[in-house]
Amino acid sequence: MKANRGRDTQPELAVRRLLHAVGLRYRVNFRPIPRLNRTADVVFTRQKVAVFIDGCFWHGCPEHYQRPVSNREYWDPKVARNIARDLDTTRRLVSASWIVLRYWEHEAPEEVAKSIAACVKQRVG
Ligand SMILES: [Zn+2]
């Protein structure tokens, strides 16, 4: 099980570096909606684009999530809650006119950054 929960994981850092390299500027670990207690990994405030790079374990990646052998009565509901919370976060942001981009940490940082950059550039009026 990976211990790299939360902020500044390697895939996230790689994506941020690539975005920065193409001249994009963004907030990191930032609440898109201040009164809503949900933090996105990378946030473009002007373009209203919120990016989440979800950990395969914590967010239940369909390709990589493996149920832990021990303590399932703890982990199963916990991961299920995370997934439900992710859906809820997406729904709330979308209803406030944000674009929500979600990726898995296993995705290639180059592809992720390319996809984010394309979306953000489209949003600039
Ligand atoms: Zn995965």
60, 75 contact by CB (below 8 A): no
Cα 100 to averaged position of ligand 1 atoms, centre (Å): 19
53, 45 contact by CB (below 8 A): no
Residue 4 located in a structural domain:
no
Rg value, the chain, Cα? 15
50, 99 contact by CB (below 8 A): yes
Cα 124 to averaged position of ligand 1 atoms, centre (Å): 31
Residue 2 located in a structural domain:
no
* Number of helical H runs and strand E runs in the chain: 3, 4
Residue with tokens 């990726």: 103
Cα 119 to averaged position of ligand 1 atoms, centre (Å): 22
Classify residue 69 by its DSSP letter.
S
Cα 83 to averaged position of ligand 1 atoms, centre (Å): 14
Residue 42 located in a structural domain:
yes
Residue 85 located in a structural domain:
yes
Cα 104 to averaged position of ligand 1 atoms, centre (Å): 6
Per the structure, the count of domains in the chain is: 1
Predicted pLDDT of residue 8: 73
pLDDT digits (tens, 9 = 90+) for 42-72: 999 999 999 999 999 999 999 999 888 999 9
User: What's 70's domain CATH number?
Assistant: 3.40.960.10
Classify residue 97 by its DSSP letter.
T
Residue 7 located in a structural domain:
no
Residue 101 located in a structural domain:
yes
Cα 96 to averaged position of ligand 1 atoms, centre (Å): 28
Cα 55 to averaged position of ligand 1 atoms, centre (Å): 7
Residue 22 located in a structural domain:
yes
pLDDT digits (tens, 9 = 90+) for 71-122: 999 999 999 999 999 999 999 999 999 999 999 999 999 999 999 999 999 9
Residue 5 located in a structural domain:
no
Instruction: Please say if the pLDDT value at position 124 is more than 90.
Output: no
Q: Provide the domain limits for residue 77.
A: 12-123
Predicted pLDDT of residue 6: 57
C-alpha to C-alpha distance for 55 and 119, rounded to whole angstroms: 22
Cα 87 to averaged position of ligand 1 atoms, centre (Å): 17
User: What region does 91 belong to: left with phi over 0, alpha with psi -120 to 50, or beta?
Assistant: alpha
